Amino acid sequence: MNIKNICCIGAGYVGGPTMSVIAKFCPDIQVNVVDINHKRISQWNEKNLSDLPIYEPGLREIIEKCRGKNLHFSTDLKKNIEKADMIFISVNTPTKIRGIGSGQAIDLKYVEASSREISKYARGHTIVVEKSTLPVKTAQTIKAILDAATEDVNKSKITKTFSVLSNPEFLAEGTAISDLENPDRVLIGGEDKEAINELVNIYSKWIDKVKVLTTDLWSSELSKLISNAFLAQRISSINTISALCEATGARIKDVSLAVGMDRRIGKYFLNSGPGFGGSCFKKDISNLVYISNHYGLFEVANYWQKVLDINSWQQKRFVELIVKKMFGTISSKKIAILGFAFKANTNDTRESPAINICKKLIEEGAFLKIYDPKVKEHQIIKELGLNENNKEHRDWEYSNSIHKTFKDVDAALFLTEWCEFASLNWRDISKIMRKPSWVFDTRSIVDMDLVKENGINIWQVGYGN
Ligand code: NAD
Ligand code: UGA
C-alpha cells in the first residue's frame, strides 16, 4: 500500500495543525481535513490568514504554502472518506455531562459517529488512526463498528477492510507547530505490522526513526492519558508548594529551580500558577479516575482525584486571598483581568482558570475589565455566560487596549503569562489606578520590585509577602 490520500475527521486544534504539518512534509500526499462544523471549515478556507479559527505561531505560514495544493478543508465527509487510504479520527472527546459516568467518563459519541461514517463510505483497504485522546480499549469499539460494515459488504462482494491504529497526539497549544515538527516522540500502537509501517513511513519524512515508538493498541492509548496525568500532577505538586512558600517566606521560583536542576526530576512543568487549564488535563484525569474506579482500583482513583482537587483549591484560595488583601470586600471595586486564555500564545479559553476566578470575583461583587491580546469578546461572553445580551447590566467589560484596562481599577490580576505583561510601564500605570492599588500576579510575570517602587502593593504566587 502506498498512502496517497489522507482524510482527517475533525478540523480542530489537533486536526488542523497536525494535518498542516503532514501536508508540509509530504507534498506527494493529498491531505483532506473534514468537519461537520461549516463555520470552522469556512474559517480554515479564509483568504485573510488572520481569520483562521486557531492561532498558533507558525501555522499561517504552512497554510499559505500548502492550502489548495495538497491541503484541503471541506465539509464533504463522503467524498473524502471514499478516496482515503488512511483516515485520522481527530474529533473532540468531552467529558460526559449526563448519565452513567457523568462528570468523569469520556463521551465517545463523536468518535462513534466518525467510525460509522467511515464504515459507510470507505472503499478498499483503509487504515483508521485514532488521533483523539481516548479511554484505553476504545479501539475495540471502533473495530466492532468497522467490522460490522465489513461483514455487510462481504455479502454484496464490495471490498472493504480496515486496520485500526492508535497514534495519540502530544502537541501543546501555543507550541503546536514546533511540537509537531520536532516531537519528543511519536507513538503508534496496533496489531497490523504493515499498517504500522505505512504510518511510520509518513512520520519518517521529517522525524528521526528512533523517536517513533511502536507498541500494542492498549499501551498506546493508555500512555497518552498517563502523559497528561503526569504533567498535570507536577503542576498540582508545585502549586501546593507555592502555598507553603507563601506561608514560610521561601521563594517558589528558587525552589523550582533548585528542584528542577536535579536531572532525575527535570526543570519542566514546575511553574506555579492559577492551576492548569485547557481542554484536556481535567477531562483526561477525570477519565483516569473513572477507569481506575471501573477496575476496582479505588486507591489509584483517589490518588489522581487529588491532582484535580488541588487544582480547584489553588483557584479558590487565590480569590479568598484577593478579597482578604483588599480589606475584606471587593464589592463595587474594579479589577483589571490581564489574560483570559488558559496559557500564553493561544486564543483557546477552554477550562481556563480565568473562567472560575472571574466568576467568583463577580459573585463577590467586583466589576471586571478583561483584556487578552488574542481572545475575542464573544468568546469571553460564551465562557462567562453572564448577562450575555445586555452590556449595560454586565458585571464586566471587554477592553481592547492594555493601557486603558488599568484606568480607575483598584487591582490588576494577572492570569495568563503573555510576554507583553512582563514589560509594562508601571510608572504610567500607577498614575491611572485608584489608590491604594494592588497587583495580584498568579504567573510570576511582572517585575515585583518595579511595581513596588511605583507605590503599588503586590502579591505574587509563591512569595511570602
Ligand atoms: P476540537 O473541539 O478543537 O476539534 C474537534 C472537531 O471535531 C470539531 O471541529 C468538531 O466539529 C469535529 N467533529 C466532531 N464530530 C465530528 C464528526 N462526526 N464528523 C466530523 N467532524 C466532527 O478538539 P481538539 O482540541 O482538536 O481535540 C481533539 C482530540 O485531540 C481530543 O480527543 C483531545 O483530547 C485530543 N488532543 C487535544 C490537544 C489540544 O491541544 N487541543 C492535544 C492533544 C490531544
Ligand atoms: C497539554 C500537554 O502539555 C500536551 O502534551 C498534550 O498533548 C495536551 O495537553 C493535550 O492532550 O491536550 P496544553 O494543554 O495545550 O498541552 O498546554 P500545557 O502547556 O500543557 O499547559 C496546560 C496548563 O498547565 C496551562 O493552563 C498552563 O498554564 C499550565 N501550566 C503548565 C502551569 O501552570 N505550569 C507549568 O509549569 C506548565
| Mean pLDDT, the chain cut into blocks of 10 residues (465 residues total) | 94 98 98 98 96 93 98 98 98 96 96 97 96 94 91 69 97 96 98 98 97 98 97 98 97 97 98 97 97 97 98 98 98 97 94 97 97 95 78 85 97 97 97 98 96 98 88
| Residue 139 to residue 409: CA distance in whole angstroms | 53
Structure confidence at residue 415 (pLDDT): 98
Of 437, 382, 379, 385, whose CA–CA distance to 406 is shortest? 437
Structure confidence at residue 330 (pLDDT): 98
40: Cβ contacts below 8 Å, ≥ 6 apart: 11, 12, 53
**Which ligand has the minimum distance to the alpha carbon of residue 109?**
1
Strand partners, 336: 369, 412
Residue located via cell numbers 464573544: 378
Q: What distance in angstroms lies between residue 364's CA and the mean position of ligand 1's atoms?
A: 35
**DSSP 8-state symbol, 456:** -
Structure confidence at residue 75 (pLDDT): 98
Which residue has a Cα nearest atom 17 of ligand 2? Answer: 172
What single letter denotes the amino acid at residue 339? Answer: G
| Residue 29 to residue 284: CA distance in whole angstroms | 32
| Residue 72 to residue 5: CA distance in whole angstroms | 11
Structure confidence at residue 394 (pLDDT): 82
Q: Which atom of ligand 2 is nearest to the CA of 271?
A: 36
Structure confidence at residue 155 (pLDDT): 64
Structure confidence at residue 392 (pLDDT): 66
Q: Which atom of ligand 1 is nearest to the CA of 16?
A: 26
**What are the backbone angles phi and psi of residue 92, rounded to the nearest 5°?**
-70, 150
Q: What distance in angstroms lies between residue 273's CA and the mean position of ligand 1's atoms?
A: 26
Q: What distance in angstroms lies between residue 6's CA and the mean position of ligand 2's atoms?
A: 28
Structure confidence at residue 419 (pLDDT): 96
Q: Extract the C-alpha cell encoding 323.
A: 478579597
| Residue 465 to residue 458: CA distance in whole angstroms | 8
**What are the backbone angles phi and psi of residue 307, rounded to the nearest 5°?**
-60, -40
Sheet holding 30-34, edge to edge: 71-74, 30-34, 5-9, 86-89, 124-130, 160-166, 186-190, 212-215
Strand blocks (E) in 27-123: 30-34, 71-74, 86-89
Catalytic residue among 7, 66, 280, 358: 280
Residue 348 in contact with ligand 2 by CB distance below 6 A? no
Length reported for the chain? 465
Q: Which domains does the chain have, with CATH numbers?
A: 5-215 (3.40.50.720), 283-289+299-460 (3.40.50.720)
Residue of 221, 225, 235, 259 with the most ligand 2 atoms within 8 Å of its CB, for mutation:
235
**26 flagged as catalytic:** no
| Residue 224 to residue 220: CA distance in whole angstroms | 7
**Alpha-carbon distances, residue 42 vs 53, 74, 114, 334, 397 (angstroms):** 9, 8, 20, 39, 29
What secondary structure does DSSP assign to 338-366, as a single string? E--SSSTT----TT-HHHHHHHHHHHTT-
**Alpha-carbon distances, residue 106 vs 189, 304, 323 (angstroms):** 20, 16, 36
Which residues does a 6 A CB cutoff place in the pocket of ligand 1?
9-15, 34-37, 40, 90-93, 110, 113-114, 132-133, 169, 171, 173, 279-280
